[in-house]
Structures are given as structure tokens and as C-alpha cells.
Chain A
Amino acid sequence: MRFFEYEAREIVKRAGIPVTTFGFATTPEEARRAAEEIGGPVVIKSQVLTGGRMKAGGVQFADTPEEAAEKAGPVLELVINGQEPRGVLVDTKAEVEQEYYAGVVWDGIRKQPVILFSDMGGIDIEEVAEQHPDHVGRQHFSNILPLSEFQAKQVVAAVGVTGPALNKLVPIIKRLAQMFVDNDLTLCEINPLGRMADGSFVALDAHMDMENEARARHKALLEELGVGDDETREAREPTAFELAGEAVDNASHRGVAGNVTEFDGNIGLVIGAGGGSLTLFDAVRKYGGKPANYCEIGGNPSVEKACGLAKLVLQKPGVEKIAVMMSIVSNTRVDIVARGVIKACLELDMDPAEKIAIFRIPGAWEDEGFKILKKYGVEYADRSVSMHEAAERAVEKIGGRAA
């Protein structure tokens, strides 16, 4: 889950890392008051969960509170990459001597967090790593041993920083790493980390993601920041169709009908499980099919859940037929999914034989499942028909009608 910059700043501040004085505003009047409190030139930054703010005009400068209000108005209205801003951050315009970068991410191969540090801040760290590899320090640290100052010292010294700057940076870097651990972050970045005229360091922008699975452990923090439980903070807001999919999944406790995602094709997909869905979605597209949705069923869903999902997909505008396909199941029962999708057709006054292009779920309870499908004249396949062959067949049946 991504944080807005104003939230990330607050977390950085709480971690004991110096930040410039800032305020959050949702109206020009609030922006004026924030600028007044800061008492000097300010920067107004659009609060969106996407990059390219500067280029889009979402970052403005103002010398007086009145100008701040004036400049904040249009920024508050400005849609960037399809996102309406949550508000604006009103920040002190700082006089920076030099910009640095400090971040922490997970390394899935070493299975430890790694601190990244560079004396070339203000630009993308990937770019620095590629063009000036000797300007990026890396330091892994243990998941079990307490964090030590020498690790922060090593990563700073690795790029050649010495003198008072080194000694001032060490506690900041250590706090950043501790903050990463304490808040179950998957990424945190301070970029730029500015060195001011007096030699002190201040975080001028912060970027961080918290692991979704760990949100429950940070209820108090999220509440204080005003992050709602229902905020997914995905790359885009869920559509009505996707929310309906979530409701189907939540309606019954048993099994999973997850990751329902909307696409604009004509083939409805009731597919599973995790890896099977990825494989089948690729397969449908490989044979020229246009999926109307993505989803992952599994974990032995109830008849109601399979039925609810199938109904949702069948009723989606533009869907001609559905394909019900999974990799071989061992926990999920074939007969239960079969009953669910047939029930969905019948309740919508649709003919299962016509609406279900193909049913390809081999595995546990398949004989019972195939018997039911046969009774309703639904085309089905066992494991002798590959996942790709089943996907091809589904595309063929729909293409034949749509063409």
C-alpha cells in the first residue's frame, strides 16, 4: 500500500528524521494558512500516487501566503495520470547545498533489507545506479540482529562521503532503516535528502509502501494518518465490477474468488487458481481472445461463491460466453464449481450449454462434476485437454459467433 507524500513525511518525522515544516491542504484557504505558518517562500505539491508531478504542472512555487492560495487552486483541480489529487502539500522552500538519496528495499535473493545511499540525489536511483555505479552504496542488514550504526556508516562512506557530513548522516540512515523495519515497509525512499547551508540534513521528499499483509499490525498509525481500511491504494481505483467481485468473495467465508479485475473483452473468465489464472489469461490472449475480466478462484469455494462470481461475469456488458477453466485441482472440488456455474446460468435464465463455452477443471471430484455438466449439455474437458487447448477452444466458440 502506497502512502501519499504528506503521510510519508509524517512517518519520516515520527522516526526522528528532520523534515522541513510542511502542511497539508485541500482548499486554497487551507494552503494560505499553511504558507502563513511556514512564513516564507513555499512549494505547493500535488498529492497523487503517481510520478511526473513536476512535468504535469503539479508542483508550484509561491513567495507569499496569498500567492500560495492562488497557486494551490489550479493544482487542486489538476488531474495527473488519471488521478485527482488528494490535496496539496505546502512545504518550506529550502535552500539546499547538495542533494543526496537514501532508501531501503527488500532483496529477495539475499532475503534481507538493503540500504541504498547516494551522494547524487534528486534523480531516479535506477538512473544513478546505471550511469554512476560508484555513487551508489549498498548495505544489507540482518532481520534478527539489532541494527548497528556501523552499517549506516559503511553505506555512506562507500560513496566517499566523509567529515562532518558522514557523522550527521549516520543517525539519519540508521533511523530510516529502523523505520523500514518497524512499519513493515516494502520500500522507503528519501529523495532528495538535502544538505543545508548550515551543514544539517533535511528530508525534502519521501516515498514509501507498506506491505498489505502487515496493515493489521499498524492500525493505530493508519488511523492517525486517516488511511481508511477500504483504501486499496492500487495503481488505479477499483471499478464497480471489481468491487462487486470483492463483495462476492466476502459474502461467504469458504474458498477464494479473488483479484477480480475488469478488462473490456467479450470472453468472461471464471479461472483459477493463482498460477493457473496467469497461465490461462495468457493462453486466451495468445489465441486472439479478448478477456472481459481476470480472476482467481481456488481454496475450495462454495457453490454460492462460484455461482456469485459466474453471475457477475455473465452479466457484465459485452460478455458473450464464459470459460470456466483451472489447472488441476486437489483442494477445490470440480463438482462444486460445476454446480455453481450452472446455477448461475439457470438463475439468469440462460442456457448453460450455450453460455459456458468450455469447462476445463480436472482433479478432485471430477467424475461427479463431469456428470452434472453432461446432464446440462455443457462442453467439458479433462486433463487430456491442455490448458492452452481449452483456452483456444473457448476463443474459437466465441469468435465463431462474434465474427
Chain B
Amino acid sequence: MSILVDSDTTFIVQGITGREAVNLTRECLDYGTGAKVVGGVTPGRKGREVHGVPVFDTVAQAVEHHGRPIDGSVVTVPPAFTKDAVFEAIENAIKLIVIVTERIPRRDVAQMVELAGLRGARIIGPNCLGIIVPDVIKMGGIGGPAKDAAKAYSPGPVGVISRSGGMTTEMSSTLTATGLGQSTAVSIGGDAIIGQTYAELMPLFEADEATQAIVIYTEPGGRMEAELARWTTENQSRLPIVAFMAGKFMDEMPGMSFGHAGTIVEGIQDTAAEKIARLAEAGIVVAEEISEIPGLVKQAVSERTPV
């Protein structure tokens, strides 16, 4: 089992004729059981094909061609056009939108997220690599070409949520190497405002029988960890969580921006030290190094499952 996507998920790629999007489409078609990429959209390019995927001018045309509602869209259009593309997807009844594009002003992101909320749609990202269910489907650039993704990801009990796309793969690969596979790995994006935070994805993992533990990657900036800590405490989550925090050095240099846009240290609640303390208070184990994660996951799972 998995969250957000499965082998039946259909999706389109908006901005499909761009160089990165062409590669991404190939990767998704090749991975696992082969993603059902039912169309692509680039205005003015109707009638073309990208790796056999038909290209349309509008999302509405793609939906009409498919003949039934389409589940998802991967959006890879330039920042200035992203809001319109996402609105178009939402208003054409698409319910899962992965935004790959970086450097979108947060007012635009906030508008997209609010509209999605009103229409019952979910946004993953922006500035993310998407979602992968090992050996089944990947939606987005996560893990790269199919053969590279297959090397890092394997099916199993761990749900992975990460603000860094690359670190999603690094952590999953480390888990895979010790025999711990992943139920679903989600790259949620590194910006200050994102479609789905840790706490917003937790109910899905909670309801997913295949998931037995959660691993998260986090950075300074924002209050998403505090939100997660509160969620786990209030909901008495059945899932143990192991966290890794990068960017501790930033505590010593407030005001400088490193890593993702969301990591600008703005106040005491945003520092790495403060976040680690909050997570620990909520019973979330914080790993010092990536290589410690598998051991901590195994330990946490065995503690929760009486033999």
C-alpha cells in the first residue's frame, strides 16, 4: 500500500515539452509498473508527442481526450506562469498537484494552496521532486532515471517525508541498504510555504497499513516541526518518527540564507536547536547522522510492537 498515489494513478505533465520535463516524463514512464502519464500540456504545442504521450494546449483538452477525470499533474512551468498552470489544473478537477518549479513568490504559492484547499485538491511542493512508491510508481523527478531510482528505493514499512529532494533519496538509500524499504517517500519542498507539511501528510501515513514508521528530513526556518510535534502528541500517533536535522551551523549566523528558501533564520523558534528540543519533547527521535537512522527506526518499531 501507499499514500497519495498507486499503480492506477493517472497524471499529466504541465510544461511537458521543456528539457527537464521531457526527461522527467521518460523516468516516470520507465519506473516501476510504468506511470500512467495520460497527457502533457504546453500551450501552442497541441498534436505533438513526448515519448508517446500526447501533448495538448489546455488541461481541459487532456481531460477530454482521456475521457474521465485525471488524478494528478506534475507542474514544471517557469515561476511566472506556475500560478496560472496550477489554477488550470485545479479548475479542471485534478486533485493531486506536484509543483517542481523553484523560486515562485510565496504570495502565488499561498493563493494556489488556498484554492486547492477550497476545491479539495492537494499540492505537493513547490520546489520539490515529487512522490515515489518503490517499485510501483513515481510522480516527479524523485530518484532520477528509473535505474537510479531502483537502486535507492525499495518497498517496505517506512514513510519518508523530506524538505530536500536529494536527501529524500539519500535517506531512502540508507534505509534500503539495511533492508528497510519505504511505503511512500514524499519530497515536500523547501520553501517557506508549501502545499503539504509533515503534519498534513501524517493522517495519510497513519491510515496506511503498510507504514510502520516515519523518517523526516528537516532544516532551520519555519514552524513545521512544531506543528508535527503538536500533531503527534494530540493524535497519539501509532507511528514512531525519526528525524534528521541539517543546517545546525545556521544557528550561529542569523539572517544569512542557505539551503532552501525556507531556511532563513527569523526568530528563536526557527533555530535548529529549538526544533530539535521540540521534536524530542514530542517523543520524536532525532538522529545525529543519516547512518544512524535505520538503527533508530528498527529500535523504535520494536519498542512499539510488543513481541
Is B203 on the interface with A (CB-CB < 8 A)?
no
Give the residue name and chain of the A residue nearest to B187 (CB). Answer: A275
Contact with B along A313-334 (1 / 0, CB 8 A): 0000000000000111111000
Query: Nearest-CB distance from A278 to chain B (Å)?
Result: 4
List 12 contacting pairs A-B, 8 Å CB cutoff, sorted by A.
A108-B262, A109-B197, A259-B258, A275-B164, A276-B164, A278-B258, A278-B263, A327-B164, A327-B166, A328-B169, A362-B173, A363-B144
Is A117 on the interface with B (CB-CB < 8 A)?
no
Is A374 on the interface with B (CB-CB < 8 A)?
no
Q: CB distance B167 to A214 under 8 Å?
A: no
Chain A residues, Cβ within 8 Å of B219: 275, 278
- Of A112, A276, A328, A388, most B-chain CB atoms within 10 Å: A328
- The answer for the CA separation of A282 and B250 in the assembled complex, in Å, is 9
B side interface size, CB within 8 A = 67
Is B295 on the interface with A (CB-CB < 8 A)?
no
Chain B residues, Cβ within 8 Å of A389: 291
Is A298 on the interface with B (CB-CB < 8 A)?
yes
What is the count of residue pairs linking A and B with beta-carbon distances less than 8 angstroms? 168
With beta carbons under 8 angstroms apart, the residue of A113, A296, A328 that contacts B170 is A328
Is B63 on the interface with A (CB-CB < 8 A)?
no
With beta carbons under 8 angstroms apart, the residue of A282, A326, A328, A362 that contacts B248 is A282
Q: CB distance B141 to A108 under 8 Å?
A: no
Given pairs A186-B106, A364-B144, 16 additional interface contacts (CB within 8 A): A144-B111, A211-B106, A213-B106, A234-B255, A259-B258, A275-B167, A277-B259, A278-B258, A278-B263, A281-B249, A285-B249, A327-B170, A330-B142, A330-B149, A387-B289, A388-B289
Which residues of B are at the interface with A, using a C-beta cutoff of 8 A? Answer: 20, 79-80, 103-107, 109-111, 113-115, 118, 129, 141-145, 148-149, 152, 162-167, 169-170, 173-174, 177, 190, 192-193, 197, 217, 219, 222-224, 227, 244, 246-250, 253-263, 267, 288-291
Chain B residues, Cβ within 8 Å of A186: 106, 192
Give the residue name and chain of the B residue nearest to A211 (CB). Answer: B105
Contact with B along A276-298 (1 / 0, CB 8 A): 11110111011000000010101
Which residues of A are at the interface with B, using a C-beta cutoff of 8 A? Answer: 106, 108-109, 111-113, 126, 142-144, 181, 184, 186, 211, 213-214, 216-217, 234-236, 259, 261, 272-279, 281-283, 285-286, 294, 296, 298, 326-331, 362-364, 383-384, 386-389
Give the residue name and chain of the B residue nearest to A181 (CB). Answer: B107
Q: CB distance B107 to A275 under 8 Å?
A: no
Given A109-B223, A278-B247, A388-B290; A294-B79 close (CB under 8 Å): no
Q: CB distance B144 to A277 under 8 Å?
A: no
Query: Nearest-CB distance from A44 to chain B (Å)?
Result: 26
- The answer for the CA separation of A258 and B73 in the assembled complex, in Å, is 29
- The answer for the CA separation of A236 and B254 in the assembled complex, in Å, is 11
Q: CB distance A144 to B115 under 8 Å?
A: yes
Q: CB distance A327 to B167 under 8 Å?
A: yes
- The answer for the CA separation of A91 and B267 in the assembled complex, in Å, is 30
- The answer for the CA separation of A236 and B144 in the assembled complex, in Å, is 37
Which 5 pairs across A and B sit closest by C-beta, in order of nearness? A330-B144, A275-B164, A235-B255, A278-B246, A278-B247
Chain B residues, Cβ within 8 Å of A259: 257-259
Give the residue name and chain of the B residue nearest to A210 (CB). Answer: B105
Q: CB distance A274 to B289 under 8 Å?
A: no
Query: Nearest-CB distance from A394 to chain B (Å)?
Result: 15
Query: Nearest-CB distance from B174 to chain A (Å)?
Result: 7
Give the residue name and chain of the B residue nearest to A384 (CB). Answer: B177
Given A259-B258, A276-B166, A282-B249; A111-B148 close (CB under 8 Å): no
Query: Nearest-CB distance from A291 to chain B (Å)?
Result: 9
Chain A residues, Cβ within 8 Å of B257: 234, 259
Given A111-B193, A275-B259, A364-B148; A143-B173 close (CB under 8 Å): no
Chain A residues, Cβ within 8 Å of B114: 111-112, 142-144
Give the residue name and chain of the A residue nearest to B169 (CB). Answer: A328
Q: CB distance B174 to A282 under 8 Å?
A: no
- The answer for the CA separation of A278 and B223 in the assembled complex, in Å, is 18
Q: CB distance A282 to B107 under 8 Å?
A: no
Q: CB distance A126 to B267 under 8 Å?
A: yes
Q: CB distance B144 to A331 under 8 Å?
A: yes
Give the residue name and chain of the B residue nearest to A113 (CB). Answer: B110
- The answer for the CA separation of A236 and B105 in the assembled complex, in Å, is 23
- The answer for the CA separation of A320 and B238 in the assembled complex, in Å, is 50
Given A276-B166, A328-B166, A330-B141; A386-B174 close (CB under 8 Å): yes
Q: CB distance A277 to B258 under 8 Å?
A: yes
Q: CB distance B169 to A327 under 8 Å?
A: yes
Q: CB distance B192 to A108 under 8 Å?
A: yes
- The answer for the CA separation of A10 and B224 in the assembled complex, in Å, is 35
Query: Nearest-CB distance from B88 to chain A (Å)?
Result: 15
Chain B residues, Cβ within 8 Å of A387: 170, 289-290
Given A143-B110, A386-B289, A389-B291; A278-B170 close (CB under 8 Å): no
Chain B residues, Cβ within 8 Å of A362: 173
Q: CB distance B177 to A282 under 8 Å?
A: no
Q: CB distance B164 to A329 under 8 Å?
A: no
Chain B residues, Cβ within 8 Å of A217: 105
Q: CB distance A275 to B163 under 8 Å?
A: yes
